[in-house]
Amino acid sequence: MTENITISHEIAAVLRDEILRQQFRCGERFPSERDLAVRFNASRGAVREALSQLELLGLIRILPGGTRVQAIDSASIAVLGPLMAMDDMPDPVLVDQFLQTFGALTSLTARTAINRADAKQLILLEEMVVELAQQLSDFEAMQPKWREFLQTMETVADNLVVRLIGNDLKAQFVEQMMKLGVKPEVEKKTLEQLLSSLQQSLANGDGDRAASAMQTHFDEVRLAVSEAMNSELMTPELTNAKPGNSKLANDRAEDLQRETV
């Protein structure tokens, strides 16, 4: 949010989406800067800024003689958000993959956090878990606490790599899901299990156990989200319910990725 709407950003967004929609074949020539400038009724400078961004996203490759389109597989994570936000209903496959990944990283965070935490931090975390357990029934109220807990764990684990990945992932995904109002219904029993496991892990300083509990929990969430998306999502416009797009994750086995020019 607070996005600074700029011509170059707009151009970048449009072109990005076109590429993500596979309107260009990988390796194909991209329109020249001058052409794009005409098309968008903008100056070449603006276009160049846009292309500069697309290049950083790994979507195109700018080189003298002509710009070329790259395979989506070789793009940066930053394209995930747009990829999911493109259609009004994000690809369920992608969402699931997302949750899997997020789960794995959260699991790692939990493990590291518990293994690294000092006595004080352990107590703090434990308190948070207890607090969470008390609000088990109130999903809405629990949400922020849960996030806070995750964030605290992140801080304790203090893994910059995970945090950076988390930034991109969260920024692009969580927001998207929120906007769609997807509320996965996780069974209370499952949550109870998670919290109790966490509590014990914290008590024993058993990071591995916490990791595995977190893992299990995320698998449940994945299931719940999947169901929520399948049912609840027969919302207003289901006009363009393209079943495809999932193929984004499939085809295009190997490409001319490392063609040294």
Q: How far is CA 243 from CA 21, 79, 95, 247, in A?
A: 14, 20, 14, 9
Which of these ranges, 60-68, 101-109, 135-143, 159-167, lies near DNA under the rule CB under 7 A? 60-68
Rounded to a whole number of angstroms, the minimum distance from the CB of residue 234 to a second copy is 25
Alpha-carbon 50 to chain mean position: 23
Q: Which does 182 bind (CB under 5 to 8 A by kind): a second copy, DNA, none?
A: none
Q: Which does 239 bind (CB under 5 to 8 A by kind): a second copy, DNA, none?
A: none
Among 215, 201, 254, 244, residue whose Cα is nearest residue 73: 254
Burial (Cβ within 10 Å: 0-12, 13-18, ≥19) of residue 14: middle
User: Can residue 172 be called a binding residue for DNA (CB under 7 A)?
Assistant: no
Give the contact letters, 168-187, x = binds to a second copy (CB under 8 A), - = no. xx------------------
Residues binding a second copy: number (CB under 8 A): 52
User: Can residue 66 be called a binding residue for DNA (CB under 7 A)?
Assistant: yes
Q: Which residues contact 257 (CB under 8 A, 6 or more apart)?
A: 70, 71, 73, 74
User: Can residue 43 be called a binding residue for DNA (CB under 7 A)?
Assistant: yes
The nearer residue to DNA, 32 or 143, going by C-beta atoms, is: 32
Which of these ranges, 15-23, 105-113, 116-124, 225-233, lies near a second copy under the rule CB under 8 A? 105-113
Q: By the 8 A CB rule, do 157 and 114 touch?
A: no
Which of these ranges, 127-135, 142-150, 162-170, 178-186, lies near a second copy under the rule CB under 8 A? 162-170
The nearer residue to a second copy, 69 or 80, going by C-beta atoms, is: 80
Q: Which does 7 bind (CB under 5 to 8 A by kind): DNA, a second copy, none?
A: DNA
The one-letter amino acid code at 66 reads G
User: Can residue 53 be called a binding residue for DNA (CB under 7 A)?
Assistant: no
Q: By the 8 A CB rule, do 53 and 78 touch?
A: no
Tokens 């699991």 sit at which residue? 107
DSSP 118: -
